[in-house]
Amino acid sequence: MDFDTCRLVAESWADSADCPFRLLFADEAEKTLFFSAPRNESVSFYVVCPDYLKNMKKTKGKFGVEGVPRGDNLFLWDVKLTNIDPKCPLGKDLQQYAKQHQEEPVIKMEMKFPPDYPMAPPFVRVLKPRFKFLTGHVTIGGSICMEMLTRSGWRPTNDIESILVQIRAEILSDNNARLDKNPNWEYTESEAKTAFHRMVNRYGWE
């Protein structure tokens, strides 16, 4: 998706009745789209979507991460963590899970951007497969246990690809990371948020 196409998609979405945002302008030099929320003029954010998409396409699979917007929604991304070593316990679980359920041996995730991104972090959660209880830095609800994804540890300079690479590394850093292979249903957003807030309170993060 080039910058002009991305801008057209953003303009179309911003003009829809259910969109709370308003496209302010497109900076072609910086490849940046600027939005504001008319319901709350203090809320503004920018989405550097074209460059991110270009980089993700260029390095697709190279770092074991893939991510694309869901349909024409630039604020909701579908993510895959790929190329997990089939010799490690988690990799073996993934291979068995994929064979059993006829799916890809990948970890499917969702990344949702808040209205004040990049000043606030995206909400990232595993969709499926489900992990065994408290392994892989994945909460019981599927959210990711990383201070970087909270307001306490977030930095506006973080970009999408680096976030995903760090999440992948964090999951794989736990040698005890395993899958709960029997159920084949997704974590819900509700249980992910509940577990996330419980984690934030537990560690004293914001």
pLDDT digit string (tens) for 49-80?
555 565 665 556 678 999 888 887 778 899 99
CA distances from 16 to 9, 33, 73, 75, 157 (A): 11, 17, 12, 15, 30
* pLDDT recorded at residue 58: 56
In the chain, domain spans: 1-49, 59-203
d(CA 140, CA 122): 19
* pLDDT recorded at residue 46: 42
What are the pLDDT digits (tens) for 135-182? 999 999 999 999 999 999 999 888 888 899 999 999 999 999 999 977
What are the pLDDT digits (tens) for 16-51? 655 555 555 565 665 565 555 444 433 344 444 555
What is the CATH number that goes with domain 59-203? 3.10.110.10
pLDDT category at 1 given cuts 50, 70, 90 is low
pLDDT category at 8 given cuts 50, 70, 90 is low
Averaged pLDDT for residues 99-127: 92
* pLDDT recorded at residue 141: 96
Contact between 124 and 196 under an 8 Å Cβ cutoff? The reply is no
* pLDDT recorded at residue 116: 79
d(CA 83, CA 70): 22
Torsion sign across C-alpha atoms 152, 153, 159, 160: negative
User: For the whole model, what pTM was predicted?
Assistant: 0.75
* pLDDT recorded at residue 43: 37
Annotated catalytic residue 145: yes
Higher per-residue pLDDT: 133 or 32:
133
* pLDDT recorded at residue 41: 36
The one catalytic residue among 6, 19, 88, 145: 145
d(CA 29, CA 73): 23
| DSSP structure class, residue 136 | T
* pLDDT recorded at residue 181: 74
d(CA 106, CA 65): 10
